[in-house]
Amino acid sequence: MATTINKKINHIYLLLEKLATGEELYPQNPRLQSELDVNERTLRRYLEDIYSLYSHIVLIQKVQKEFSDRKVTVYKVANKEQDVSNIFKFFLQNSDDLSWLLQIVYENNPTLLKDYKDDTKKSLEKILKDDEDIFLFVNSPFEKMDNEKFSSHFTQLKTAVKNHEYRDIEYQYTKSEMLKDLKCLKLIHMNNNWYIGVETKKNKLRFLRLAFIKKINYSNTKVGFQLSVLEKYNTFFSSIQNAMTRNKPFKEALLKATPNISIYFKKNMKPFFPSQKFIQEDEDGNIIFSIQYTSFLEIAPFIKQWQPDLIVLSPDNLKEKIMQDLLKSMTHYKESL
C-alpha cells in the first residue's frame, strides 16, 4: 500500500511540474501514459485530483486532437497574458460596444496589461486611449482588488467555495470575532461590495463583507461539506436583493410614488429591487407598486431615500416603523434649532 501511495505522489509531482512549465496534459496522451507507466483511466484520475486541489490556477478545456474525432479534455495552467487577452478579444469582437467594460476593469486594476507583448496589447491600449475621456465611473461595480490582502482573501475564499470547504475567519465589523468551521457557500457581489455567504456551526446563514475580514485559516474540519448544504439555499440565493435580505419568507410592501418622483417608477423603468412590480398609475399621476422584503433594514433605507414623496400604503407595521423613525428625526432637528 505504501509503495502504491508513494508512486501516486511521485506521479502527481511530475504532472504538476509539467503543468508549471506550460505543458498541456490530457489522459489519452500515449507518450504520457508510457512515461508514467499508467493507463488512461489512472491518468485521468490523477489529473482530476490535481484540478480539484488547484482549480483556481488550472484550466480545463475541450480541444480537438488528431487521433480522435471527438474533443478531449485538456488540463493546463492559466496563462494570464493569453487567456485574459482572449476574453477581451471575444467581448470586443462580439459586441456592439463593450469598450466601457475594458475601461472599468482597467480602472480597477491599472497593471492589467503591463505584461502583454502581442498585438492584443496594442489593440486594447488604443481602445483605452481613445475612450479615456468618454466614460466616468462614479460607482464602480468592483471593490478595489489592488490591495494584496484583499486579493489573497478573495482567492482563498474562491477555492473554499469551489471545493465546498470549511474555513476559520477572523472578522471585525462592530467587534472582533473568530468564526470557526464556517461552510463557504457563495461569493456574492452586492451593494458595490463583495461578501462571502457562509453557514455557521449553528447552521445559521451569514454574509461577511470581505473588506472586514482580517484573517482566513484552514479549519480543523478537513472533509468538505455535502453539496446538500448549498442546495438548501438555492432558492434564497436566487431571490437575494441586498445584504439585508434574510433567509425567511418574503412579505409584501405596497407603496405609492407621488407625481414628483413618479417618472422613476413607471412601468418600463429599471426597478430598484428584483421583486419590484408595477401595479398601476392612477388618474392623479401617482404610481402604485409593490416590493417583496424579508427585513425592515432591507427596504427602509430605500423608502427613506425618497421621502416625502414615497408613501407606505401597507403593511401597517412597516408604515408605523417608518413613521416612528421620521418622528425621531424631526425631534432631532427641532432640538438642533
Residue 138 is classified by DSSP as: S
- Any domain includes 145: no
- Any domain includes 196: yes
223 with 256, same domain: the answer is no
Residue finishing a domain among 103, 131, 159: 131
C-alpha 148/C-alpha 224 separation (Å) is 27
C-alpha 187/C-alpha 179 separation (Å) is 17
301 with 256, same domain: the answer is yes
pLDDT at 95: 56
Cα–Cα nearest to 29, from 7, 49, 44, 9: 44
- Any domain includes 61: yes
- Grid coordinates given for 288: 402604485
Q: Which positions of the chain have pLDDT values less than 70? A: 1-5, 56, 65-69, 78-99, 101, 105, 108-121, 138-147
- Any domain includes 71: yes
pLDDT at 152: 84
Domain of 199, in residue numbers: 150-239
pLDDT at 308: 94
281 with 327, same domain: the answer is yes
pLDDT at 274: 92
Tens of pLDDT, residue by residue over 33-62, are: 888 889 999 999 899 888 887 776 778 888
CATH number at residue 9: 1.10.10.10
235 with 154, same domain: the answer is yes
Q: What total of structural domains would you count in the chain?
A: 4
Residue 326 is classified by DSSP as: H
- Any domain includes 246: no
241: how many CB neighbours lie within 10 A of its CB?
21
262 with 224, same domain: the answer is no
10 with 62, same domain: the answer is yes
C-alpha 305/C-alpha 142 separation (Å) is 23
Tens of pLDDT, residue by residue over 69-95, are: 678 888 887 665 555 555 555 555 555
pLDDT at 31: 86
Percent helix, strand, coil in the chain (nearest 5)? 40, 25, 35
276 with 316, same domain: the answer is yes
C-alpha 208/C-alpha 200 separation (Å) is 11
196 with 160, same domain: the answer is yes
Residue finishing a domain among 33, 50, 77: 77
- Any domain includes 141: no
- Any domain includes 176: yes
Residue finishing a domain among 49, 77, 105: 77
